[in-house]
Amino acid sequence: MQRFYFDHNATTPVAPEVVETMVSCLGQVYGNASSIHHFGQSAKQRLEAARRQVAALIHANPSDIVFTSGGTEADNMAVLGVVHGVARRPAHVITTAMEHPAVLGPCKQLEAAGVAVTRLRIGSGGTVSADDVDRAIRPETVLVSVMHANNELGTIQPIADIARLTRAAGIPLHVDGVQALGKIPVDVDALGVDLYSMSGHKLYAPKGAGALYVRKGTRLAPIVFGGHHERDRRPGTENVPGIAAFGAAAELAGRNLASDMERIGSLRDRLENAILESIPGTGVNGSRWNRTPNTSNVYFDGIDGEALVIALDLRGFAVSTGAACSSGAIAPSHVLTALGLSADRARASMRFSLGRSNDAAQVDALVQALQASVTHLRRISVHA
């Protein structure tokens, strides 16, 4: 049976060019990048080349890139590092109700330590209002953290508008850019952000490498201790093969960004339109505009989402009900309930996230599989 992958927001297959870079690094560049001998300096060169490649994708200075183990560590480093680096108390953090657990988790830890946290509501379209951010700012606000593109809906947040507010108030702005990088253009200067989180495995690179952009002058306390790596911002011997692969993936994404956006966006629209036209009791969650071009979140009334994931998997299609980090959770998606959906409709929703490997024939086959699976599941739920 052929299998087709429509879950690129969870992770992506590693691009062949990226595999080649990583394998060559594993076989030939085994020195420690902190060593001053030939082998160490060869590793250092690969590390710094990747730093330039990642920086170029977001139009940043390479010296402002801190390599991490992935997006979750980058988010934790930003949220906890900024707040711990501020001496004044009481402290206050502003975020949104639809952030990834990698941001909501550290915010919860900060609350337990006495830091006030405001979680802003989102509109029915799936975006937060810059005016709501403005109204939430207090004299003791030390950080605003808002994701660039939502992992479940694909909706793009008004980051530049929020940045103008935070800049005027002298408050650092952290943006979780994990689901935006490589899907839409990113320019950290044009956006006005102070910290920007990234992850390689959402970008056709292997798991285990990510980065945090830290604008020069942003105070960031370490959250891990032990060494002077990454300019004293993240101790630990760097994962040179993984980082080199991340750099290669970033360069590839930059070259293909415009063509990928157009082609994959067209496929996403083809999928959505076909579902809405051929399957009753369906609709798109959140706005259909101002989204990443690869992401669609659709509800199928009267269906259990997990059952539909299994039914589609048996037919050879990989999709998801939402964030992979939250799979297995009994509660409905916090993003969809924040959107205003009922628990039943949230549980009946599916995320389709397309990528480079998908084509029109696969999309059409997925629609046929959906029609058959939804019809079957609705029939047995009526007779249950």
Q: CB 20: neighbour CB atoms within 10 A? A: 12
User: C-alpha 107: how far from its chain's center?
Assistant: 17
153: confidence class by pLDDT, cuts 50, 70, 90 = very high
25 tagged catalytic: no
Residue 177 sits in a domain whose CATH number is 3.40.640.10
What is the three-class DSSP state of 281?
coil
pLDDT value at residue 329:
53
- Which tokens hold the place of 371? 């029609």
Instruction: Please provide the average confidence, as pLDDT, over all residues in the chain.
Output: 94
- Per cent of the chain over pLDDT 70 is 97
Based on the fold, state whether residues 243 and 189 are members of the same structural domain. Answer: yes
Over 90: is that where the pLDDT of 34 sits? no
Question: Which among 325, 344, 356, 378 is annotated as catalytic?
Answer: 325
User: At 218, phi and psi to the nearest 5?
Assistant: -75, 125
How confident is the model over 189-223, as pLDDT tens digits?
999 999 999 999 999 999 999 999 999 999 999 98
Based on the fold, state whether residues 64 and 210 are members of the same structural domain. Answer: yes
User: Looking at the 3D structure of the chain, how many domains does it have?
Assistant: 2
pLDDT value at residue 381:
77
Beta strands in the chain (DSSP E): 4-5, 65-68, 92-96, 116-120, 141-145, 173-176, 195-199, 210-214, 282-284, 295-300, 317-318, 349-353
Say what the pTM is.
0.96
DSSP letters spanning 137-203: --TTEEEEE--SB-TTT-BBP-HHHHHHHHHHHT--EEEE-TTTBTTB---HHHHT-SEEEEEGGGT
- Per cent of the chain over pLDDT 90 is 86
Structural domain that includes position 184: 16-252
> Which of residues 201, 218, 252 is at a domain's end?
252
CB-based contacts of 4: which residues, under 8 Å, 6+ apart?
316, 317, 318, 357, 358, 362, 365, 366
Based on the fold, state whether residues 115 and 174 are members of the same structural domain. Answer: yes
pLDDT value at residue 324:
53
Based on the fold, state whether residues 123 and 186 are members of the same structural domain. Answer: yes
What is the three-class DSSP state of 65?
strand
